[in-house]
Amino acid sequence: MSVTQWANMPYQQSVSGLMYFLATGGIVRNHNGEWIIGYNRLLGSCSVFDAKLWDILDGLGILIDGGYDHVRIQADSLEAAKGTIRRLIAWSSWHMGKAMKYEFMKYPH
């Protein structure tokens, strides 16, 4: 029997920048609203939309590494959430292909 771990990514993330150099960050809380971790990233030159995508992806990466299998994303941008899902699917497919190639190369033919 597996234990389900829930986490929330509420929209408390922030995007700030000066002269096109953006930074983003946020917090992750468990299903009881208790703080799990905070994170941030200096992005450099990018759009605010891309900064929001990075914010969601960074939070998801932390949660996946932490073993969470259910995540509720709360964001103020439906487009950013949809874009994150599309990029996550593409990223997962690329990494899965890379991992399969690595496993395949370990064994002699």
Mean pLDDT, rounded, for 25-43: 82
User: Radius of gyration (Cα) for the chain, nearest Å?
Assistant: 16
Q: pTM above the 0.85 mark?
A: no
Q: What is the CATH number of domain 6-106?
A: 3.30.420.10
Q: Is 59 helix (H, G, I), strand (E, B) or coil?
A: helix
Residue ranges of the domains in the chain?
A: 6-106
Mention every residue, 6+ apart, whose C-beta is less than 8 A from residue 77: 49, 52
User: What pLDDT does 97 receive?
Assistant: 56
Cβ proximity of 27 and 49 under 8 Å: no
User: What pLDDT does 1 receive?
Assistant: 37
- pLDDT tens-digit series, residues 70-100: 777 776 666 666 766 676 666 655 555 555 5
Tell me the C-alpha to C-alpha distance, in Å, between residue 27 and each of 8, 40, 91, 103.
9, 9, 22, 35
Integer Cα distance of 94 and 99 in angstroms: 9
- pLDDT tens-digit series, residues 9-33: 554 445 555 555 777 888 888 778 8
